[in-house]
Structure 1
Amino acid sequence: MRPLLIPFYVLFIMTEGLTESRKPRRSVSFPDMNLKQFKESELGSFSSLMVRDDIGQLVLGARGKILALSLEDITKKISEEKWSVSLADKALCQMKGKGAEECHNFIRVLHTMEDSKMLACGTNAFNPACDTVTFRNGKVFLERKPQDGRGKVPFDPYQSFASLMDGNTLYSATSSNFLGTEVVFQRHGLNPVKTEMTRSWLNEPTMISINMAEVSRSAENGEDDVVFLFFTENAVEERRGNIWVSRVARVCKSDLGGKMTLQKRWTSFLKARLDCPFGDAGSPSLVQDVFLLQDPNNVQDSIFYATFTSNPEPSSLCSQSAVCAYKLSDISHVFRGKFLTESDTGSWDTYTGEEHSPYPGSCIDDEMRAKGVMTSLNLSDTTLLFVKKHPLMEAVVTPITGKPLLVQTMTRFSKIVVDQVTSLDGQRHRIFFIGTDSGWLQKAVKFDGEDAHVIEELQIFQDPLPVDFLQFSSKTGQLYSCARNAAVQVDVRDCSRYTSCHDCLLARDPYCGWDLITPRCASVAGASAGSMIQNLSDGDNRMCPASDLGKRATIIHLTIGVAQFLPCSPETNLPVRWRLFDSVLHPGPQHTLLSQGLVIRPSPSDAGLYTCETLETVEGRAYGAMVTQYLVEVRDPDRVATNLKIALITVAVFTGVLANFMCRHLGAKMLDRCFRCNRNGSNSHVMPSGHHEAVNGCGEEDRHHAGGTPPPQEQ
């Protein structure tokens, strides 16, 4: 094998003095992904996605149509229903200044209702409309009874919004006018309520997510369920303008608005700043998505997992992303704290005036009912006026442990989904699936006492498209996503990429363990501890069975003073180290260490066995895994030339000796030729046959034969 020659300028570019960042342990590119993909060349952009575990379908909203795919295999389309705009509506939309592409019907809302029907809402050429979707014989149909969709779905097909369906009641946070400037958070249905159109309530907001916490299930005081809204906005409390912050707002599910003050408006709308400290001090941390994982035993222990970015510009090379977690009880505590109040000068200061009872913005509970406050309609105007003017809390909602679970540079997180899995030891572990704006999905886990680490990152879209939709199916155990004209189905419990027991255990993937019978890395779901091993606490691979399968060293011949490259490409993103026999190599005049190999400028002492191995530290213990080995032999060019001369002389001498041997031992015919061609005449005598015997060696005839010239005629 001849190693690659590396020019000096390439070495200069590739020399890596950068510190190791928290890279995903493994990266899997799209060609290596074992995923299912649904794609139609003539299909417009996907604009919504809904997993229907109850009927085994994945429902997709697209430009001008709704599709139903098999949840088990999304490559199988079950049915589709067209919902396009008329030519007249499209022409009217374009007359109002919108582009031809915008003036379609993008189905952006898909929600399941109590009767298994679905609410679907589309932009409808900037004239939002909703309709009901039914399923007959497994196929999707529109009832063709359109309703006004204003305030339920944006006019603009690309504007951010949020919505939630509770039973048959829709909560939405979106624009309610053609220009998209009036953004409201509202509940639709029999008792509609919404936010006030004032800067103190919402100031140029970007809506992110709506979640409902079923507080009533575990509340001892008969407290109401709570709806949380996550968004970003321009902070009114900042003295400097255009300071964007993340917010969490809270309203009560049973809020009916006020009787006189705040009629058909939220009487329980309170908001607080949401903090996720990372990045530069001057960079805003802006929330991108939120996933609520409810605790079935105590709702107050439920956790919100949120993705953030530090820079809103996608092109920024300095952007960072993070995942922060918030306990519901901590958020509730902030909403029982002090308020900020706006002064005559426009500054926002802590409110120190008269305290109100009941506490402004409180959800109805048993204590309030005992005092005659049965609904928000019974609240006094004094309390409601205070809520109207004081929606902002003083305290900031901080994450659990006060810091992010995960931070990455030069990456923009988008969506997040959290799953729970039971390991072989019976412990419950939470796994985070984080989408990025470049078409990758990161799979991360956090163990007690450690920072979260990314087990692997998966390229789920061939093109660098944002992961805007992400849902998990508890029925199939798979993730579903879509972007533009492609939908994908990803088996996040796939353990086949861990090709050895050592790799399987060190990955510390809660889904996976080493099957001692197969043997292979496989899902722990339904497996017994007797037939499978798993070590999530420290990844100790000494549990693995002994293996005599080693990699054979590659023999390399190097020349002194000539730089050569020895490649090392591990399957993971783990840092590598090189060893010469048992000694660890360090950078020096003879050795340049790169992430993908080693450059040697060999001297005679550099011959030996070189080993490239990945290095992984878990709970303070270092683990090495061999990637490749080279047996290096070093040659001196001067000595090679000398040895070549000696070899040539040796060959010449050996040829003469061989010829002499042939003359003496190869029989009468050869001897006869030797006598006849002997021209020296020394030490010869006549044989009975008339031939001469050449005592001193082969004669002229043999020399002529050797040179290709015929022997002379005998006189």
Structure 2
Amino acid sequence: MKHVRVAARCASADTDIRCASSPACVPRAVSLSSLTASPSLPPASMAPLMPKWHLLVLLGLLDSCKTQLVPRSTFAIGSPGRAVTHFSSPGIENTTTLLLSNDNTTLYVGARDSVLSLDVSEPGVMKLRSKVDWSPTAQEVNLCTTKGKNKMDCHNFVRVLQSLNSTHLYACGTFAFSPKCSYMNVETFSDSSVRAQDGQGRCPFDPFHRNTAVTADGELYVGTVENFLGNKPAISRFLSRRGRTDLKLDGSPGWLTDPTFVGSSFIPSEGKVYFFFTETSKEYNFVNDYTVSRVAQVCVNDEGGKLVLQKHWTTFAKAELRCQAGKDLPLNIIQDIFTLPPAEGTPADDTLLYGVFSSQWPMVSGQSAVCRFKLGDIKEVFAGSYYKLNQQDSSRWETPQPSAKIANPGECGMHAAADDKLNFVRSNFLTQRSVTPVGKGPVLVSPDQLYSRIAALRTQAANGRNFTVLFLLTESGFLHKVVLLGKGPHIIEEIQVFQQPQSVKNILLSISKGVVFVASSEGMVQVPVSSCSSYSNCAECVLARDPFCGWDPDRASCVELSTILHGA
């Protein structure tokens, strides 16, 4: 490993970088004559007498700068300054469901009427290996249209793609408003691998309905709708193993109210699957049709009750996720969620969940925010007090006396509890407290960008400090790369990834490959998490405040930090 020293000035005859605690950062590379040299550093005239620094720069020394929520660099599609890899092929559309193989060499893509296997083994490579055709018959399409559906929506849009083991995937599609699922052998990935079965409850009927799915120990946990009309939501477990029965929510009112599912996450240390969605609130009566964001949980060891809640969840509980800045109107509609595991050596409770939120209120309809939640805080709320659902009037929630509590809703192992306890958790599943974000407010608020998808990673800069980098997909078709600094967020760059706004899209971050995959109806895009070579000089390299990059005077270029640190 090369020895690394960090300095705040570029060893250059015509540029200087400064970042004082009071003035705002200089937004671009500037000439030496227009700046006053920092008193803590040697003047530029001494530069020829100074020893060569192995690394000059970085982010940590610019952390005290005031940040502006404006992208510092913008790259349009086809821009030579930011190389991205595109994949599209005639006849392949709606490439929006993504799954990366365990060895990171194959990207499986759920598309319209097909499942694709793409070779992504090398950087900048995205080639079609094989394609499984999975289309409804003409008769099935005709039946779909006779039910009043648009023919364009009567294809099979693959919306679930999960790995069950080292040899098989599990795929589900809308299949002309009659969902179907199939096991697919990845070793013999071909049309003959499709063995369709009923997918009701595992996949939406409508391709425009959002859903979520995740596997845990080979079992499938899904949040979707169970019927053609789309008005019967469900959180369910399928493919149950070890002789257990499949489970779903009890049919009682109040469990779910017109939800839109946006994500799910299996936390092995908790033995729980968490679901994230919006729904119409019933606990607030000051406004009609008030939408709230929720986190719900179920335990993977749940087996359902013996008599009460038989074949239904005994561990379901839900809480409000509140993303709000001070006394501003809450941003109450969650758009997407990303689970960031804790840093090595830290407890699982430090797991962070980054969510993108927007608002139902017209006066802030163009605003987005990112809020960060901590797993430990979510657990604390679920361990607290609960409302009681009025069984006669499902729109009323009551605050029971503490003495009435005879069971702990959401506690794993409830399936073995007595009937009176199961009846208690059957009507006490909404927490009284909301889950509030770390820092009591958003980490980012954008007044003019609607963000729809998010991914996050943690990386170490040259000064040894850890930084969180967010990748945010905008409704207008750009990917924003944002670093969270001590003084606030800084948008390092924006990269255009598709031409037109997309109603259905997705992103997938591969940390091991150092790329973000962006999926849309227009095709697939592979974007490297960094492109340090696009910074042409030391000034640009420093002011970008990109924790992946550093200036190497030996090479007179801005290079990947991993290259510097590992001497590659």
Same fold flag (TM > 0.5): yes
Q: Which aligned pairs between 1:429-468 and structure 2 lie closer than 5 A? A: 429-447=467-485, 449-465=486-502, 468=505
Question: Given the alignment of the two structures, is residue 201 of structure 1 paired with residue 250 of structure 2, yes or no?
Answer: no
Deviation at 1:122, TM superposition (A): 1.0
CA gap 1:455/1:134 in 2 versus in 1, 3 angstroms = same
- The amino acid of 2:368's aligned partner reads S
Distance 1:329 1:303 in 2: 9
Q: Which aligned pairs between 1:525-544 and structure 2 lie closer than 5 A? A: 525-528=562-565
Per the alignment, residue 23 of structure 2 pairs with none
Deviation at 1:280, TM superposition (A): 8.3
Say which of 107, 121, 124 aligns to 2:172.
121
Deviation at 1:424, TM superposition (A): 2.3
Deviation at 1:74, TM superposition (A): 4.5
Per the alignment, residue 321 of structure 2 pairs with 274
Per the alignment, residue 143 of structure 2 pairs with 92
Distance 1:281 1:197 in 2: 36
- The amino acid of 2:226's aligned partner reads S
Contact preservation (8 Å) 2:291, 2:360: no
Distance 1:431 1:154 in 2: 33
- The amino acid of 1:179's aligned partner reads L
Question: Given the alignment of the two structures, is residue 301 of structure 1 paired with residue 355 of structure 2, yes or no?
Answer: no
Deviation at 1:410, TM superposition (A): 2.1
Deviation at 1:312, TM superposition (A): 7.8
SS at match of 2:339: strand
- Cα deviation, 1:84-133, whole Å, max 9, x if unaligned, reads 11111111111111111111111111111112321111111111111122
Per the alignment, residue 282 of structure 2 pairs with 236
Distance 1:36 1:472 in 2: 15
Say which of 373, 385, 410 aligns to 2:423.
385
Q: Which aligned pairs between 1:687-702 and structure 2 lie closer than 5 A? A: none
Deviation at 1:430, TM superposition (A): 1.9
Deviation at 1:323, TM superposition (A): 0.6
Give the structure, 1 or 2, with the largest relative contact order (CA under 8 Å, sep 6 or more).
Answer: 2
SS at match of 2:425: helix
Distance 2:90 2:327 in 1: 43
CA gap 1:466/1:435 in 2 versus in 1, 3 angstroms = farther
Deviation at 1:416, TM superposition (A): 0.9
- Cα deviation, 1:586-637, whole Å, max 9, x if unaligned, reads xxxxxxxxxxxxxxxxxxxxxxxxxxxxxxxxxxxxxxxxxxxxxxxxxxxx
Q: Which aligned pairs between 1:541-620 and structure 2 lie closer than 5 A? A: none
For structure 2, the residue ranges without an aligned partner over 5 or more in a row are: 1-66
CA gap 1:134/1:342 in 2 versus in 1, 3 angstroms = closer
Per the alignment, residue 505 of structure 1 pairs with 542
Deviation at 1:275, TM superposition (A): 0.4
Distance 2:190 2:467 in 1: 37
CA gap 1:360/1:67 in 2 versus in 1, 3 angstroms = closer
Question: Given the alignment of the two structures, is residue 417 of structure 1 paired with residue 463 of structure 2, yes or no?
Answer: no
Larger deviation, residues 509-518 vs 349-358: 349-358
CA gap 1:469/1:279 in 2 versus in 1, 3 angstroms = farther
- The amino acid of 1:68's aligned partner reads S
- Cα deviation, 1:484-535, whole Å, max 9, x if unaligned, reads 0311011122112222212211222111000111111110114239x89xxx
Contact preservation (8 Å) 2:181, 2:198: yes
- The amino acid of 2:267's aligned partner reads A
Question: Given the alignment of the two structures, is residue 166 of structure 1 paired with residue 216 of structure 2, yes or no?
Answer: yes
- The amino acid of 1:462's aligned partner reads Q
- Cα deviation, 1:43-91, whole Å, max 9, x if unaligned, reads 2322312222516111111111111122134442211111111111111
Question: Given the alignment of the two structures, is residue 51 of structure 1 paired with residue 105 of structure 2, yes or no?
Answer: no
- The amino acid of 2:231's aligned partner reads T
Distance 2:361 2:113 in 1: 31
Q: Which aligned pairs between 1:257-272 and structure 2 lie closer than 5 A? A: 257-272=304-319
CA gap 1:42/1:293 in 2 versus in 1, 3 angstroms = same
Distance 1:467 1:434 in 2: 15
Say which of 143, 158, 176 aligns to 2:193.
143
Distance 1:524 1:413 in 2: 28
Distance 2:295 2:508 in 1: 22
- The amino acid of 1:180's aligned partner reads G
- Cα deviation, 1:283-342, whole Å, max 9, x if unaligned, reads 6521111111122541111111111112488xx884210111111010100011111124
Instruction: Kindly tell me the number of residue pairs found equivalent between the two proteins.
Output: 489
Say which of 433, 438, 448 aligns to 1:395.
433
Contact preservation (8 Å) 2:407, 2:424: no
- Cα deviation, 1:370-403, whole Å, max 9, x if unaligned, reads xxxxxx3320111111111111111010000101
CA gap 1:299/1:116 in 2 versus in 1, 3 angstroms = farther
CA gap 1:194/1:278 in 2 versus in 1, 3 angstroms = same
Distance 1:482 1:508 in 2: 27
SS at match of 1:482: strand
Deviation at 1:466, TM superposition (A): 5.5
Root mean square deviation, CA, Å: 2.3
Distance 2:509 2:203 in 1: 23
Deviation at 1:198, TM superposition (A): 3.2
Distance 1:379 1:230 in 2: 27
Contact preservation (8 Å) 2:99, 2:162: yes
Deviation at 1:357, TM superposition (A): 4.7
- The amino acid of 2:308's aligned partner reads T
Distance 1:467 1:26 in 2: 26
Distance 2:246 2:138 in 1: 34
Q: If the length of structure 2 is used for normalisation, what is the TM-score?
A: 0.81
For structure 1, the residue ranges without an aligned partner over 5 or more in a row are: 1-19, 216-223, 365-375, 533-715
Identity of aligned residues (%): 33
CA gap 1:467/1:496 in 2 versus in 1, 3 angstroms = farther
Question: Given the alignment of the two structures, is residue 213 of structure 1 paired with residue 267 of structure 2, yes or no?
Answer: yes
Contact preservation (8 Å) 1:126, 1:156: yes
CA gap 1:510/1:428 in 2 versus in 1, 3 angstroms = same
Distance 1:189 1:131 in 2: 12
Contact preservation (8 Å) 1:422, 1:429: yes
Contact preservation (8 Å) 2:293, 2:321: yes
SS at match of 1:331: helix
Indicate the structure (1 or 2) with the bigger Cα radius of gyration: 1
Distance 2:504 2:140 in 1: 31
- The amino acid of 2:422's aligned partner reads L
Question: Given the alignment of the two structures, is residue 362 of structure 1 paired with residue 411 of structure 2, yes or no?
Answer: yes
Deviation at 1:355, TM superposition (A): 4.4
- The amino acid of 1:115's aligned partner reads S
Contact preservation (8 Å) 1:49, 1:110: yes
CA gap 1:55/1:117 in 2 versus in 1, 3 angstroms = farther
Distance 1:148 1:65 in 2: 17
SS at match of 1:382: helix
Contact preservation (8 Å) 1:43, 1:485: no
